Structure 1
């Protein structure tokens, strides 16, 4: 049979009041009024059937019963505080897990991740590079970077970057026997394809780009095919053909001169990249720190 215990609030009010020997100071600590502390203490005295405090010359002192009760409660509340602190730090003992597509990992996040580690050396990070849409509420993943519409019910959603798609190639392909000068010159070069999500109606493929460019004599289905955009971009860097790159995924290689844009025409993409996390965990210090950092990085890129 369970033993009935006094109110936790009443016990906490007595412990704080007894430790400070002041209802006013106890009230400040507990974020209540002195009258509320006095009410809780009176309720505890009635529950226990003893007086715990008395006033002598306007000074609050413990009775014999109060002096007997206080040390045990101080120890209990200290142990409770230790348990709660350990519970709050339970996630600090495991890495912050971030899930995102492999190509976004390789071409955008990894070149920047060291800056986060320099800002927050106390936070270990685990990268889960996958195209799978993971469960951010029950799946053990803290943060997701997703390409989509931004409609993710039940999650905290922050827009990071919009996209546009355009051909990219090695600077070497601008020279030689068949230099890339106009879109029709693509007939002399290999098209590099990335056959993986998000290749869909919201992500232009070669057929869509060539139609927009008015090119009719290039077979959009021919060429080398890869299951990752990062691989098609690497093939382009190696001079093996022309890939469809994007502002986000090819930006680093364009800035470094490993890739160039042979043509100005680009196609906007209807979707964007978002950071998502469970709403209930969105203000946890590690998650908030990563969100603040990645939003700043996205804005700078």
Structure 2
């Protein structure tokens, strides 16, 4: 069995194969042009094959080089993931969770005291972002995502499905009565002004000219405006559950539709069963079930 090449040679080869330029590869990994060239020549001698064709304008991979590139990239990625997994374990009870601002504001933060009371040994850190986190950096342990659940590189657990329906303050609810009554109210829009028209159309209510209403770039803002009596919001069930339970909002009509996406708990597979992650996942599922 061939001996494993030294790590510096593999790093030099991977960088050169990605850039197809020795100078840029050398700048990335902090070596000189000559050192990278030497590492590649040593690697070719060890393997007994040419990995690159040297051309005036740069490098091109040979068929053997392209094959080897895929193996080296996969091996280095595994090593990075392993280092991140060990680093997370070294953090002890620190748990960093990424969530969307809407989920944080309307679902997680109001419930969070229960988790902190039950698990005082976990140092919880929340990171709110509209973008899906890239776990390769090692800064985030787990996340709650809104989507279709199709993230094959991650450990994925469904948190909750959702329904979509109108909500408003109790003072407004009595003025509406039925679906047609919605078209006479100020409608609060969540990014897409056409969402209300599409939702009403699902029930046969034609609304070519909907009343003008404010457009918010976050669902939570539209919900808060509805709580304040400023109009009727078209909301997802998970985000309004607490306001409905507390009586701050009401459903003026019974009609609802299934939301196209759900909430999911995701984590890197290599750390998904770590104790702190498992405890927070279990708590999230308990809260969603309740």
User: TM above 0.5, one fold?
Assistant: yes
Return the alpha-carbon distance in structure 2 between the equivalents of residues 245 and 158 of structure 1: 23
Match of 1:140 in 2: 139
The Cα of 1:216 is off from its aligned counterpart by 2.2
Distance apart, 1:219 and its partner CA: 2.6
Q: What are the residue-to-residue correspondences of 1:111-150 with 2, within 5 Å?
A: 111-150=110-149
Q: 1:187 aligns with which of 153, 175, 183?
A: 183
Residue 36 of structure 1 corresponds to: none
SS at match of 1:234: helix
Unaligned runs of 5+ in 1: 1-85
TM-score of the pair, normalised by structure 2 = 0.66
Q: What does residue 243 of structure 2 align with? A: 253
1:288 counterpart = 2:287: no
| Residues 89 and 215 of structure 1: CA distance in aligned 2, closer, same or farther (over 3 Å) | closer
State the superposition RMSD in angstroms: 2.2
Are the aligned partners of 2:159 and 2:288 in contact in 1 as well (CA < 8 Å)? Answer: yes
Out of 183, 200, 213, which is 1:210 matched to?
A: 200
Question: What TM-score, normalized by structure 1, do the two folds share?
Answer: 0.64
Q: Is the 8 A contact 2:88 2:141 kept in 1?
A: no
Would you say the 8 A contact 2:95–2:276 is kept in 1? Answer: yes
Distance 1:298 1:215, change over 3 A: same
- After TM superposition, the structure 1 = structure 2 runs for residues 1-301 of structure 1, keeping only pairs within 5 Å, are 90-92=90-92, 95-175=94-174, 179-195=175-191, 205-217=195-207, 219-220=209-210, 222-300=212-290
Aligned-pair distance for 1:88? Answer: 7.9
SS, match of residue 235 in structure 1: helix
User: 1:10-33, CA deviations, whole angstroms, 9 ceiling, x for partnerless residues?
Assistant: xxxxxxxxxxxxxxxxxxxxxxxx
Partner of 1:32: none
Mapped contact 2:186–2:211 kept (Cα < 8 A)? no
Aligned partner of 1:76 in structure 2 is none
Query: Does the C-alpha gap of structure 1 residues 166 and 266 become closer, same or farther in structure 2, counting only changes over 3 Å?
Result: same
* Kept in 2: contact 1:136–1:144 (CA 8 A): no
Q: Tell me, what secondary structure is at the counterpart of 1:270?
A: coil
Alignment match, 1:46: none
Alpha-carbon distance between aligned partners in 2 of 1:242 and 1:124, rounded to the nearest angstrom: 38
Looking at structure 1, the residues matched to 177 and 121 of structure 2 have their Cα atoms a distance apart, in angstroms, of: 50
Quick one: structure 1 residues 87 and 149, their matched pair in 2 at CA, closer, same or farther if it must change by over 3 Å?
A: closer
> How far apart, in 2, do the equivalents of 1:106 and 1:258 lie?
15
Distance 1:91 1:139 in 2: 11
SS at match of 1:258: coil
Is the 2:201–2:207 Cα contact (8 Å) retained in structure 1?
no
1-structure distance, mates of 2:155, 2:87: 23
Matched residue, 1:37: none
Structure 2 Cα separation of the partners of residues 225 and 283 of structure 1: 41
Give the deviation of 1:221 after TM superposition: 7.5
CA-CA distance at 1:133 after TM superposition: 0.9
